[in-house]
Each structure stands twice: as C-alpha cells, then as structure tokens.
Structure 1
Amino acid sequence: MSKPRSLVLPPRARARRLETARGWFAVLDVEPVGGRRGTVLLLPGYTGSKEDFLALLGPLSEAGYRAVAVDGRGQNDTPGPRGRAGYRRKALALDAVAQAAALGDGPVHLVGHSFGGLVARAAAALAPGAFRSLTLLSSGPARVARPQRIRVRVLRAGLAVLSKERVWQAMCWLDSRDEEPDTGDTPELTAFLRRRWMRTRIAQLAGAGRLLLDRQDGTEQLAALPLPLHFAYGSDEMVWSPADLSAAAARTGAHHTVVAGAGHSPNVSHPRELTDRLVGFWERVDAPAGVSTAP
C-alpha cells in the first residue's frame, strides 16, 4: 500500500465524480499549467486509493499534463458491488476503459501502480485504442515476491473470519514489526488511512488479492500489445523482484526506468524525479515520426 505524506490538494486540482458508462468513480482531477500536452489516467494499488498520487499530481500539472487519479470500484470513495464477480479482471479492465473514454481527451497515457498495473495491462489488452501508452509502476507480469504473497494470503484469510476493524489492527501491528514505527503520521493522516480501509469493500480486497496471487506470467501478452510500454520502479522495490522487472522490460522491449533510492511507491517518495522520467517517456511516444528525443 502507498501512504501519502500529505492530504493537501495541489493547485488546480479538485476532487469530483467522474461519470462513465459503467457508473461514477471518485477522482482527483488536476488541470495543467499552460497548454495541455496530454492526459494521464492513474490507477492505484492494493489497499490504496487516488490519494496515493497526490504528490505526483502537482509535478505532472506543472509539466503540462492533465492528471486524473481514480478510486476503482469498491475502493475508498467509489461504491462497488458486494459480490465476487464484480471484481474479476475483465470487469476492472472495462472500468478503466470507461474512465478513459469519459475524460473526453482521446487516447490517454495510462499508469497503473502495483495492483493497478494488473488492471491497466488488462485494460490495454482489451481496448488498446483507448490509450496512448502504458506505464507499469512498481508492477510486473510475473508473480509478486513470496513475502508479499504470504501477506496477501493472511489478509484475505483474516477478512474471511474477522471484522475489518480487527484486521486493520493486525495490519498496523505487522507494519510496526517490519520497521521502526512511523511517528511522523499526523492524526489527520492516521484517520484517513483507517477511513480508507473501512470504506473499501471486502469483496474488492478479496478479489484484488486473488488477482495478485495469480501464477500466470503475462510477459508475452505485454510484448504483443500494440502500444508503447514502460516499466518504472524503485531500486529498492520489494513487492515484485527488481530482477524480474528488469528481465520483463528486456523481453518486451519496453522503456525502462529505475528510480534510485525509491521503494515500492516512487509516486510518494520521489514524485518529481518520477515525473521527469514519465514525461521523458511520453515525449518519445508523442514525438513525430523521424524526430528523436533525448534519452
């Protein structure tokens, strides 16, 4: 899960509902400074939300991009069904396609963080014409690393027999055992994190967890996508193996970014450096044929 360091909206950003052909979704929508160079749709990860991209929205806006971060169905501020079928891969992919269409800006650059990357790549395979490019941020086609598989299994098992409040308390305790307790969290942020957890549907958490545990390697499917592909992750990534991510980038011929010193959430820890690397990729994508851009 990403944990925002601040809940303050950047300039030119607003929280609103995005009405789509598949219902409405809660989004953070930021307008660009000056002329618009493109539009970016940002999909958050497991147990996360649109707020995971708060630190990234300002730099993207300053770089000339409209950026829209979304809560998926059943996630945080977006309603969702209680049943398991509503959180299958195709249903979530169709949501992302509908979100892109509802923005009204033509093909958009799609960025999926962690679990959001699984949704993003399924959406790109389903409707490649809806997207200008695909960036998998801290997300890979192979299985997540073993410690994270164990964590997801424990979380799903806990949700099946315990209240969400008890599972939340257990997660906080486990986090405190992994590293030194984070005493820098403000009461506002602590309250937000608990609220986000309590508002997210159990079916969404169970369904997303099931997809994260999928054993299928999607590298060949990614290589076959007819749109530009980008792998971006931190040098200290721990949910997916950095070696596996590097190998997938090489096998697919994807653009490849490693953010030095970042962990699983460069969108939180290194937003300006990540923005520079994203913009560099998009400039190459949007450059007229025969015109080269700086590496």
Structure 2
Amino acid sequence: MGRPDHPGTAAPSDGGAAAGADDGLDGAVGVPGGTAPGPPDATPALPTGRNQAQRHPHRARRVTVPSSLGPLAALRAEPDAAAAIEGRPATAMLLPGYSGSKEDFAPLIDAVAAGGIGVLALDLPGQYESPGPSAEGEYHPAQLGPVIAGIVADEVGAGRRVLLLGHSFGGLVARAAVLAGAPVRGLTLMDSGPGELPMGRRRTNLDVLEPVLRRRGIEEVVALRDASGDWSSADPHVVDLLRERLRRSTVSGLLGMGDALRAEPDRTAELVAAVRARRVPCLIVCGIDDDAWPVSIQRTMADRLEAEFAAVPRAAHAPNVENPSALLDVLVPTWRTWLRDDLLG
C-alpha cells in the first residue's frame, strides 16, 4: 500500500465553501464549483452551482439493490467507457453517514463517472428510501457490515471491481464490511474514525436528541432542527429534502446508529491485518476542519494502516458537499492509480 507521494493536504480548489450543517452529524450543505483543465488523470470539471448540495444535478438513475435486509434504494451511474482503466469495469460504492442518504454524494457522481469509474451510492438500511429492521441493535456496524459485504460480492460477481467509500458512520460500516470479507479493490474512509465519536458538539447533539426521538418521535426532532436555524443557510429545495429524508428514516435506525456512534470499539488493528493480508489499498480523507473525529486522530489511523492521507481545504465534516471539487481531486486520481496497480498484479 505505502504512503502517498502527493502532499497530505489537497490542493485548494475553486469549489464551494461550507454554508452550514444539515442533519446534526453528517452532510453540511455547500457551494459546488469548477476546476481548471488539467492532465489526463485530472478530475473532470464540476458544473458550477450554488447551494445545490444534495440537490446537485447528476445523470445517475434510481435503482433498487437487493440485500440480506431487503431492497436498498440507490443511485447508479455507468462509467465513461472512453476514460475507463483497462480491465474489468470499476464501481465506487458510496455509503452515507448517520442521518444521511445517497443524495449526499450527488455532487460527486457525474465527475467520478466521467473519470471512468461507475458509481453506486446507497441508502443504508433504514435510511430515507430504504426499509430497515425494527431492532436497534441491527444498525450497529458489526451487523451492517456483512450486509454491505454481500452487495459488494454481488457487484464483483457481475464482473465489476469495487472501490468502497464510507462517510462518517458509513466509514465504520465500510470497515466492518471489509472485516466481513467484502472483496473490495480499495477502501476509502472519509471523515470517519477508529472507534466511537469523541466528546464534542456532535456527540452532545446525539445525547440531547436521543430522548427526544425516543419519547416524542421524529416530528419533534424535525421541529427542533427547524428552530435551531441549522438549515437556514441552505437552498429551500435542499432543506425540503433534508426534512423529508429525516422524516422517512426509521426511528430504530436513527437510535441504533446513534448508539453505535457512542460505543463502536477501535477495530483498526483488525483492519490492518485484513488489508495487509488481502493487499487492499486504503485512503483516509477528511475535511481539514472536521469537527467530528479530529484530523489528528484520522491521520494517526492512516499511519497505522499505512494508508494514503489527504485533508480537503475549506471543508469540515462533509467535503462531498462542502468542497466537492477539491475532494474529487483526491478521489479520482487515487482510485485510478489503484485500478492500474490491480492490472500489474
């Protein structure tokens, strides 16, 4: 795997700056922007738009993906064949964080596909348009990991190489999927950590909202988010989506994932053994101002994994919507390098 040859901080981009947070833990809204033309492996230019975030236009089609916990809603985009790396087609499977959804990756989809890599962005079980189990304990990473591993195996069985990315809580699930044997070609953990969410504002939000959600229900949580002004800087169409997906996410899922975020053990040593044994390259990437898991903790995790590391400028906990152009400048070249390395054996 090895350490990166490129600097540890992504180059500044003309992409957007953050405009506020959406659901309390994951997915701030942002201002996507464009990038200047570059060499052949440079990220394709991202269309300019303001405050589009989860409503960013894309060409992915809505699909349903079977899983051991039932059908999962997803967005699938096919790769640009002219830009594809030699060998079997590749798919970037993208897992959202707590209270998030597949739409959190909307600003990335077309640019990744234009880089020759397909996209499959999922709702996790219980999130937004995907049904989920009623037991809160079924939403812990150790339980969701094998579910995702099964989907990865289906993709590989269909002749695709899978690059797995997990954001925040989705990173904990992606890790659990690899530990469950998911046959991935590469693993990216974005704004995620080695274990439970450290003490701070985001963990305090979970502590405060849990009894409200458990005793008064989801509508009270939506009302609190509206009253807090957390969504005030977002485009009204984005706010409509944030409200809708929060209302449609299962209460058991929100409670179970929230509990897991406060109890997940550090499984980095297990992951080190797994990725070394299977020669899986890893990337740790985060917003340079991440306020969930400190950047220093994520950098240390990268060192333990002998993984590449990058910090995205002008981004906090959700570079996928806060500064997608700069994030893409890290993801696409790294993933294309992994795919080339795969051909060398």
Structure 1 equivalent of residue 199 of structure 2: 146
Once the 2 structures are TM-superposed, how far is the Cα of residue 153 of structure 1 from its aligned partner? 1.5
Matched, 1:238 2:291: yes
Once the 2 structures are TM-superposed, how far is the Cα of residue 140 of structure 1 from its aligned partner? 1.1
Matched, 1:32 2:85: no
Structure 1 equivalent of residue 171 of structure 2: 117
- What is the TM-score of this pair, normalised by structure 1? 0.89
Once the 2 structures are TM-superposed, how far is the Cα of residue 231 of structure 1 from its aligned partner? 0.4
Residues 183 and 244 (structure 1 numbering): CA distance in 2 closer, same or farther, change over 3 Å?
A: closer
Residues 6 and 78 (structure 1 numbering): CA distance in 2 closer, same or farther, change over 3 Å?
A: closer
Q: Distance in 1 between matches of 2:97 and 2:281?
A: 21
Residue identity in the other structure for 2:174: A
Q: Distance in 1 between matches of 2:104 and 2:56?
A: 12
Residues 121 and 64 (structure 1 numbering): CA distance in 2 closer, same or farther, change over 3 Å?
A: same
Structure 2 equivalent of residue 2 of structure 1: 27
**Which of 95, 114, 120 is equivalent to 1:43?**
95
**Which of 38, 56, 67 is equivalent to 2:108?**
56
Once the 2 structures are TM-superposed, how far is the Cα of residue 63 of structure 1 from its aligned partner? 0.6
Matched, 1:182 2:265: no
Alignment of 1:254-293 (within 5 A): 254-288=307-341
Deviates more, 1:202-211 or 1:28-37: 28-37
Instruction: Indicate conservation of the 8 Å contact 2:285/2:311, yes or no.
Output: yes
Alignment of 1:48-87 (within 5 A): 48-87=100-139
Instruction: Indicate conservation of the 8 Å contact 1:145/1:238, yes or no.
Output: no
Instruction: Indicate conservation of the 8 Å contact 1:46/1:114, yes or no.
Output: yes
Once the 2 structures are TM-superposed, how far is the Cα of residue 272 of structure 1 from its aligned partner? 2.5
Structure 2 equivalent of residue 221 of structure 1: 270
Instruction: Indicate conservation of the 8 Å contact 1:17/1:25, yes or no.
Output: yes
Instruction: Indicate conservation of the 8 Å contact 2:162/2:185, yes or no.
Output: yes
Q: Distance in 1 between matches of 2:234 and 2:140?
A: 37
User: What is the identity percentage for the equivalent residue pairs of Structure 1 and Structure 2?
Assistant: 32
Structure 1 equivalent of residue 225 of structure 2: 171
Residues 28 and 3 (structure 1 numbering): CA distance in 2 closer, same or farther, change over 3 Å?
A: farther
Residues 20 and 54 (structure 1 numbering): CA distance in 2 closer, same or farther, change over 3 Å?
A: same
Once the 2 structures are TM-superposed, how far is the Cα of residue 290 of structure 1 from its aligned partner? 11
Q: Which runs of 5+ in 1 are unaligned?
A: none
Structure 1 equivalent of residue 33 of structure 2: none
Q: Deviations over 1:191-223 (max 9, x none)?
A: 211110011001100111111101522221222
Residue identity in the other structure for 2:121: A
Q: Deviations over 1:213-265 (max 9, x none)?
A: 01522221222222211100011111111111111111221111111121111
Alignment partner of 2:239: what SS? helix
Q: Which runs of 5+ in 2 are unaligned?
A: 1-25, 30-52
Matched, 1:208 2:257: yes
Matched, 1:132 2:185: yes
Q: Distance in 1 between matches of 2:54 and 2:204?
A: 29
**Which of 246, 249, 252 is equivalent to 2:302?**
249
Once the 2 structures are TM-superposed, how far is the Cα of residue 281 of structure 1 from its aligned partner? 2.0
Q: Distance in 2 between matches of 1:89 and 1:268?
A: 24
Q: Distance in 1 between matches of 2:314 and 2:189?
A: 18
Count of paired positions: 284
Alignment partner of 1:131: what SS? coil
Alignment partner of 1:17: what SS? strand
Highest RCO, 1 vs 2 (Cα 8 Å, sep ≥ 6): 2
Matched, 1:89 2:141: yes
Instruction: Indicate conservation of the 8 Å contact 1:20/1:102, yes or no.
Output: no
Residues 290 and 3 (structure 1 numbering): CA distance in 2 closer, same or farther, change over 3 Å?
A: closer
Once the 2 structures are TM-superposed, how far is the Cα of residue 19 of structure 1 from its aligned partner? 2.5
Residues 214 and 287 (structure 1 numbering): CA distance in 2 closer, same or farther, change over 3 Å?
A: same
